[in-house]
Amino acid sequence: MLRVDRRLLLNPELLTPDDRAVMIPRFLADPPRFLFFTGKGGVGKTSLACAAAVHLAAAGRRVLLVSTDPASNVGQVFGLTIGDRVTPIPEVAGLEALEIDPEEAATAYRERIIAPVRDLLPAPEIASITEQLSGSCTTEIASFNEFTGLLADDERIGRYDHVVFDTAPTGHTIRLLQLPGDWTAFLDEGKGDASCLGPMAGLNRARTMYAVALQRLCDPAQTKLILVARAQPSSLYEAARTATELQQIGFHNQVLVVNALLPEPDPRDPVDPLHDSIHAREHAALVAMPEALTQLAQDQVTLKAQTVMGVEALRSLFESTESSGPQGDSHPAVTHPDGFDLGLRGLVDDLRAAGHGLVMCMGKGGVGKTTVAAALAVALAEHGIPVHLTTTDPAGHLTDALNQQGTEQIDGLTVSRIDPHEATANYRERVMRTKGAALDAEGKARLAEDLQSPCTEEVAVFQQFSRLVHESRRHIVVMDTAPTGHTLLLMDATGSYHRDVVRTMGEGTAYTTPLMRLQDPTQTRVVIVTLPDATPVLEAQDLAAELQRAGITPWAWVVNASLAAAAPTSPLLQRRAAAERPHLARVRELATTAGRPTPAVIPMLAADPVGDVALARLSALDHPVATPA
């Protein structure tokens, strides 16, 4: 909301009403031509991107708003059908919008690669290539291919003063574009190995376009990156990681926006311990934010009572804090959502009855997978069930969730972490020692560079992941997985391994691959974790569809941090709780095909559930918890 220094970011109460009325977001002061909004799902980057576009258009600029987000709801925000064509926004003169559909882009991208060889190769080979190009890595590259075509094409964007992108390119895709330009010849000679070379093979003819796009991305006079985060440790950590990663590859013009910051309680409103606790928790997160973020210019946007939908709501997003409502307004309490189990008790009881198997907690970063995984593991151990709790998430913080000292006192609980860096280093060394042994100096250099790709990490982690799948035959293994995109790449690696085993063993030979164990509902139980908001639910829906493509049906759904289940008394939080209803209803619909058709809901808590006692309480909730124990 405000152009502020760090002192005011941490103490917004110091701002006067006049200050709030005249200040504008720092990221919109002297804006360059290209603005990119990036952040975890559910932090509000689409709302901010749309509001920024409306603000610039109101200042008399011609603006193109482009979404490259797989979970884009730009059309929903404006109440229009937009899609892959430039669409004027009738209520905002000078503003047009475009949505790049990642799945459509990936389909077209696959066809461009496969079409020339479809009549030259046997059908099984074509099917194998199609499957290899069906992963999230291909979707990401295909979307970026569309994005760079737009960014570098002056004929398409020449008439716009500003182009606002909802979802910036990741460090992953930018690093891919910095790889050598002759990968196709390298692959044709049979020297390549693993990772992204297959998807990258279709990009080589457009190197000039990529060079222009990269030059514009890394020019601070032309481009600004807006890192959107919530005032939560995990969200700020992710923003810091992104900031550092992009700075390392030359993307330096960055601004941090802390979105949906809970305002000071209105003295006219009833005292709400939950409101007070969340406000204090957010302030503490800002004070302890990672050092990489303290070096950036910073803005804040306060939480609005209603979902930001429509042009009028967008116009007011950067204005002063709204009142939660006229004094005396009626705000009926929102109680436990119908059709949900409160807490994790039902899941724990079912897992106790099973006694063994793999439990995979999956979902986008920031939705609470680590908390849910740790809570399930602690509850099972306290019931005398041996359980191994582990994470494949590079950003996983199991020891923080468990409060490391406390975990040593839980009998039957083993805690581990697959170290992606160690696994990747070992994998790179092994590939260079084997496949690289017969290459000349130039070939070795190219292979070594390819092995720096983030996709290499997924291949390396998969090997350790397979051992955990095997271990789960004897007892329960609870796994806190990596964020969705990483996890789907891991699933792709599993599928490739499965196909290789089938081809090697031949017909009539008995075998069991990791994929077969993942597809077996008596062996593997996937728990999808989400938040009661539009983007996280849509991302969870897409994850479920991707799992179904791999023959894996989710076992259970968990909605985390629900205000509707917390029964707040603050009018602002009550209105936010009411806004959760359609998203909770959608989760109920999605859960009907799961093994446990009744989803679970965890209420927003006054204190973070850290440590074994607090985690165990998530499996013993009988009513909403509004105050710390």
pLDDT tens figures, 44-56? 899 999 999 999 9
Q: Are strands 95-99 and 87-88 parallel, antiparallel or unpaired?
A: antiparallel
pLDDT at residue 178, as a whole number: 55
Q: What's the rounded Cα separation, in Å, for the pair 541 and 562?
A: 18
pLDDT of residue 191: 44
How many Å apart are CA 496 and CA 494, to the nearest integer?
5
Q: Could you tell me if 63 and 162 are in contact, meaning their C-beta atoms sit under 8 angstroms apart?
A: yes
Residue 299 near residue 550, CB atoms below 8 Å: no
Q: How far apart are CA 72 and CA 80, in angstroms?
A: 13
Q: Which helix (DSSP H) or strand (DSSP E) does residue 480 occupy? A: strand 476-480
Highest mean pLDDT among 21-30, 283-292, 608-617: 283-292
Q: Distance between CA 629 and CA 273 in Å, rounded?
A: 12
pLDDT at 8: 39
Catalogue the active-site residues. Answer: 42, 44-47, 69, 535
552: left (phi > 0), else alpha (psi -120 to 50), else beta?
beta
Distances (CA, A) of 489 to 136, 212, 288, 353, 479: 6, 29, 33, 31, 16
Give the model confidence (pLDDT) of 563-581 as tens digits. 999 989 999 999 999 999 9
pLDDT at residue 2 above 80?
no
What residues have CB less than 8 Å from 38, skipping those under 6 apart? Answer: 45, 167, 168, 170, 225, 226, 227, 228, 242
Can you tell me the mean pLDDT for 589-601? 95
Distance between CA atoms of residues 185 and 192, nearest Å: 10
336 burial level (CB within 10 Å; 0-12, 13-18, 19+): middle
Residue 102, CA distances (Å) to 136, 143, 372, 395 in order: 10, 5, 30, 25
In this structure, are residues 377 and 387 in contact, taking their beta carbons and an 8 Å threshold? yes
Q: In this predicted structure, what is the pLDDT of residue 303?
A: 92
pLDDT tier at 617 (50, 70, 90 boundaries)?
A: confident
Least confident range of 103-117, 189-203, 269-283, 368-382: 189-203
Q: How far is C-alpha 272 from the chain's CA centre?
A: 31
Q: Determine the residue type at 245.
A: E
Q: Are 531 and 42 in contact (CB under 8 A)?
A: yes
Helix axes 420-434, 454-471, angle to 10 degrees: 110
DSSP for 546-590, written as a single string: HHHHTT----EEEEEEESTTT---SHHHHHHHHHTHHHHHHHHHH
DSSP 8-state symbol, 115: G
Q: Which residues have C-beta within 8 Å of that of residue 386, sequence separation ≥ 6? A: 412, 414, 475, 476
The pLDDT of residue 422: 85
CA distances to 299, 304, 403, 568 from 606, rounded to whole Å, are: 25, 20, 18, 10
pLDDT digits (tens, 9 = 90+) for 173-216: 565 555 544 433 443 444 444 344 445 554 555 667 777 888 89
Give the pLDDT confidence score for residue 108 in this predicted structure: 84
Instruction: Please compute Rg for the chain using Cα positions.
Output: 25
Residues linked to residue 38 through DSSP beta bridges, in sequence order = 227
The mean pLDDT value for 327-350 works out to 75
pLDDT at 261 over 70: yes
CA distance 213 to 273: 50
Judge contact between 62 and 168, C-beta under 8 A: no
Q: Among 18-27, 119-128, 292-301, 371-380, where is mean pLDDT lowest?
A: 18-27
Domains in the chain: ranges and CATH: 2-315 (3.40.50.300), 341-419+459-617 (3.40.50.300)
Q: Which amino acid is at 252?
A: H
How many other CB atoms are there within 10 angstroms of residue 535's CB atom?
24
Task: Give the mean model confidence (pLDDT) for residues 309-338.
Answer: 66
pLDDT at position 551 is 85
pLDDT digit string, tens, across residues 521-559: 999 999 999 999 888 898 899 889 888 888 889 999 999
DSSP assignment string, 329-373: ---PPP-SPTT-EESSHHHHHHHHHH-SEEEEEE-STTSSHHHHH
**pLDDT over threshold 70, residue 394:** no
Any long-range contacts for 93-96 (C-beta under 8 Å, 24+ apart)? Answer: 93/57, 94/57, 94/60, 94/61, 94/62, 94/63, 95/53, 95/54, 95/57, 95/63, 95/65, 96/63, 96/64, 96/65, 96/160
Asked if residue 251 has pLDDT above 50, the reply is yes
pTM strictly above 0.85: no
In this structure, are residues 495 and 131 in contact, taking their beta carbons and an 8 Å threshold?
Answer: yes
> What are the helix (H) ranges across 66-121?
74-78, 102-114
**CA separation for the pair 603, 186 (Å, rounded):** 53
Cβ(46)–Cβ(535) under 8 Å? Answer: yes
Q: Please give the pLDDT value at position 627.
A: 37
Please check whether residue 233 is in contact with residue 288, taking contact to mean a CB–CB distance below 8 angstroms.
Answer: yes
- pLDDT tens figures, 418-436: 887 888 888 889 889 988 8
Provide CB contacts within 8 A for 336, sequence distance 6+: 342, 564, 565, 567, 601, 623, 624
Using one digit for the tens of pLDDT, what is the confidence trace for 497-514? 566 656 666 656 666 777
